[in-house]
Structure 1
C-alpha cells in the first residue's frame, strides 16, 4: 500500500526558557539560566518546516501544551489565585515554577512512539504517548499530549492513541527518540527497532554509572505489545552505557535511521557487532538490505557527537532513493564533524546531501532537528482522516508566523517566569492558536 512519512514538528511554545531542568543533557545544563528568545525559537522551527515541505517532504504541526501547568503547583501545595500560586512558587521553589512553565513538549520526538498501519495487527496507526517519568518537567506532559494526539488523529477506525505506560522505574518510556523503523518502503511491513538503556528486571543488563538511563527494556516491550507488532519484526538493542554517561541521553543523539539506512556511531550500542548482526538479520527477513553508515570514534568522538548533535538529525528519503541529512548549523561550525559530513556525501553512499538549519534556540536546550519532529507514516486515506489544519503549507506558515510575532516575547529570563502577566499572554495566544489549527477542543482548561 502506498504511504508517506509525515514529520510532525513541535511548534515551540511561548514559554520556551533555559531552566536547566534536564540532568544528563549536556546542552541543557550548560545553558542553564541563560536568557531565551521564544519568538526566535518558534520562527526557526517554522522556517525548517516550510523549507522541508517545499522540498516535497510532508510536514505537520503539533501544538504546544498549555503552560504554566498550575494544576501541578496546586498539587504540590501552592494555593490561591493564579498570580498568588506563581508568586509563592517563585519565592519558595523556583525550580518547581520552572517545571510548571517548561516548554519541553516542543521536542515531539518524545511525544510518543508511533507504529504505522502496515506493521500493526489491526492495521491502524498506533500511538503510545511517552510517560517521560525520568524528569518532573517532562512527566507532566503525557496527559496533554494524549489529548492533542486524539484531537488530530481522532478517527478510531484508522488511529489508536493509547494511554501512557504506568509511572514507575520499570516502565520509563521516552518515545520515538529511542525508536527507529526500517522497511523497503513506507507502506509495507517493516522492522521496528527499540533501544533501551537499562532493564528493571534483568540484573545482567549493565546500566550507566553517572546518568540514569531513561528508557527501559520493559517499556519498549510493552509498547510493542500494545501496538500489536509481529515479534519477528521487532529488535531490542541496548544503548552503550558509556555513551549515556557522556551525555547521550537518548539513542537519537548517537544514531538515526530511515527505510534501509542506519547512520550510527561505533559506540552507540552494547556489543556493536552482535547488535548490528541482529538488526541486519531481522531486516533481511523483512526484505530490507540494511545499509549501515558507521562513524568510527577515530573520525569523531562521542563528545563531538554530543557537542554538534550530528546524529540528532533528520534522515529523509529523496525521490531518487538516496538520503537527505538535515543537520543543525552547529555541525558545520565544528571542524571535525563538518569534515565527516563532507566525507559522507563524497563517499557515494546512501547519504547524497546535507542541509543545515539554524535551530540555535532549541540546540541550546539540548534539542536538534530530530528532537523537534515525530515521524508518522500515513496512507492517503489516513492523511485525509486528520482533523484540523495541521499540515504545513505556505499559508499556514504565514499565519503561524504572524501569530508568533504578535504573541511571543523576544526575551525570557528565569526571573520573568514570576511575572503574572505572562500567564495571560500565553492563554490569549493559545486560545487564538486553537482557531488557526481548527482544533476547538485542544485546550479545554483555557
Structure 2
C-alpha cells in the first residue's frame, strides 16, 4: 500500500521563504516564489525535539514528516504511562514492547535461554501457528509446545527472513505553532508486503522446559547523546513488556530480568555496554538506537554470541548484514520510509528539493532512498540536491560553521521543499537555515 503520487496543487501552504505551489520546474525562479515546505523524519519528528526550539516559538509550525508509527490503543497507552508517567512521545514504544515479548516467546518455545537457540525461534513465533495477541495467551500456548503467530502492538503480520517486519505502518505527523506534534493531524499508512513473510519452516516448539539461567535483557538504548530524547518511550515499552511477561509467569519457570544500559549514541559507548552486559550474563540486547551504532557494534555482539534486537534501527544496510542469525529489529527498513516520505513530498507538488542530512549511515542512506523514489516519480535528478554535515561518534555536530555554509548554499537555490534528516543535532541545521534568511511562514 502506497501514498497516491497525485500532485495536489490546491494543498499548497508555504513555509520556508527559500514554493511548494510550483507548477513547473521554472516557477521557483520567478518573482512569485514564496517559500518551501519543511520536512523531517523519525529522528527529529518528536515533541522533545520541538522543545529544543523554546527560544524560537513557532519556528517548526507546519513542518511535517514520516516515522514508523502504529495507531496505539488506549489500553496500551495507559499501561505504558503507568510505567513512565508524563511520557511526552511514543516513538518506537510499541516496537520496544514487541521486541521484548517476541524474545521471551522465542526463549519459551526454544526451551532454552541460550542466545543461539532463542534466535532460531524469533521469526518462528510470528508465523505459522495459532494467532495470539496477549502476553498471557501467547506464553500459555508456547508452554504447551504449540506453534504461535504473535500479533502484538506493532507486529501485525509475520517477520521476513531477515528478521524484520514484512509489513509496517507509518505515520505522517505535523508540528503546530507551539513546536509540538499536532495529534489531530496524524495520518497512518500501511506499507510493505505480506508475501515477504519468511517461508522457512519454523523449528518444532519445545514443550515445557526449564532453565538454570533466567532470560536476561540488556538495555542498549541511547540514554545519552544526540538520540537521548528518544529513549523514554522505548524504555517504557521494554519495561512494560518485562513486567507483563513476569506477571504471566515468566519464561521457563523463572522471572525475566532487565539490566539497564546506555549506547550513548556512540559506537565506543555501545561496545563498552555490550561487554558489560556479556559479563553480567545478558542473552538479549534491546537496542541500539542509531543504525550507525548498530553497524559498528554488531560485530561485538556477534563475537559474544548475544542476540541484538533493536526497536528502532532502520538502515537498509542492516537487512543483509552477516549477523550469524543473531540480529533482529521490529522497526522497518528505511527502504519503506523513503517511499512514504517521497510520496508525502510529491503530494505537495514539489519540483526542486534540498536534502540536508548528517553523515551517519541512517541519514545518508535515507537521503539516497528518498532521492531514488523522487527520481522514479519523475523529478529530475539535478532537482534533488543533498547537503551532508559531519557529526561526531556521539551524534553531535562537528563544526557549527559547516551548518552555516550549507544554509548559505541552500537558501539561494529557492527549493520547493527542504528535508532535514538527523537526530537532536539537526535542530542546528534548521536554525542555521532560518538565520540564513529562510523566512518561515505560517
TM-score w.r.t. structure 2 length?
0.27
TM-score w.r.t. structure 1 length?
0.27
- Computing the radius of gyration from Cα coordinates, the structure with the larger value is 2
